[in-house]
Amino acid sequence: MKRRWVPLLVFFLVVGVLYIGLRERMALERVIEEEQQLRSLVRAYPLTAWVIGLGIYIASSLIPGTFGKAVVFGWLYGFWAGLALVNLGLTFAAVITFGWVRFVFPNFARAKFGRLVRKLDRAISRDGPVYLLSLRLVGAPYWITNCVAAATPIPVGAFFWTTQLGLIPGNAALVLAGSRLPSLREMAHQSVWNLVDVPLLIGLSVAALLPLLARWAVRRWKWSDEDLQEF
């Protein structure tokens, strides 16, 4: 009696596997189609698409912990347009956070990061905005650096240009990696090894090693680990 159930169970198992596979395949095809439409819009209206992307990037960068966006925007917009969008978006978001903390919640940073505020205040008084530039280059926590800098007397203009310059190397590496990724259709129909090329590997490697290399260069040039380690 039990043996009679075996073919039925196998039948339902095969049907279930086919259903799951086809459902995932249909979902993938839908996503691929939407991606192609999105890319067509970016090509047809490059300036409008870039401005919209900039607004999206600024808004998402105001949320702490949203890492990896630069790869996605490099994948969609390409290297140069993606780099300009990512760097400006991240800088504008930093300035918004800076202004919000300085003018709306002036006591927040000192209450939350009092020791870091005093340390950064002394360093800026001694070395000027270039110290903040060094923090950006070595990959100091983005959101914390914005809040702490807002509690110091550093001018908004100096905060802007140090952030803009300091974020370029890391953003360039991430955007480069994203710009070398193929479309979803190519990803779906190629093996993993066919998706990997030298610029992609270089971009990912530089993105991983850049904070360490920058910290080493800054330490050799001017500051010690003690000057940078709290950030």
For residue 106, the model assigns a pLDDT of: 87
Predicted confidence at residue 18, as pLDDT, reads 45
Amino acid identity for residue 98 in this structure: F
Smallest CA-to-CA distance from 147 within 116, 109, 93 is with: 109
Report the candidate in 108, 103, 115, 107 with the shortest Cα–Cα distance to residue 156. Answer: 103
CA angle 210-215-221, nearest 5°?
125
C-alpha 87/C-alpha 175 separation (Å) is 10
Cα distance between residue 30 and residue 45, in whole Å: 23
Please, how many CA atoms are within 13 Å of residue 202, restricted to the half-sphere of its CB?
7
Q: CB within 8 A of 141, min separation 6: which ones?
A: 231
Q: d(Cα 83, Cα 175) in Å, to the nearest integer?
A: 6
Does residue 185 surpass a pLDDT of 80? no
Contact 205, 180 (CB under 8 A): no
Are the C-beta atoms of residues 74 and 178 closer than 8 Å to each other?
yes
- Structural contact between residues 179 and 129, judged by C-beta atoms closer than 8 angstroms: no
Model confidence at 126, in pLDDT bands (50, 70, 90)?
A: confident
Give me the amino acid identity at 142.
Y
pLDDT of 52-106, one tens digit each?
999 999 998 988 766 678 988 999 999 999 999 999 999 999 999 999 999 998 8
State how far the Cα of 164 lies from the Cα of 212, in Å rounded to an integer: 20
For 96, the token pair is: 């918004």
Can you tell me the mean pLDDT for 154-159? Answer: 96
Residues 6 or more apart from 47 whose CB is under 8 A from it? none
Q: Across the chain, what does the average pLDDT equal?
A: 79
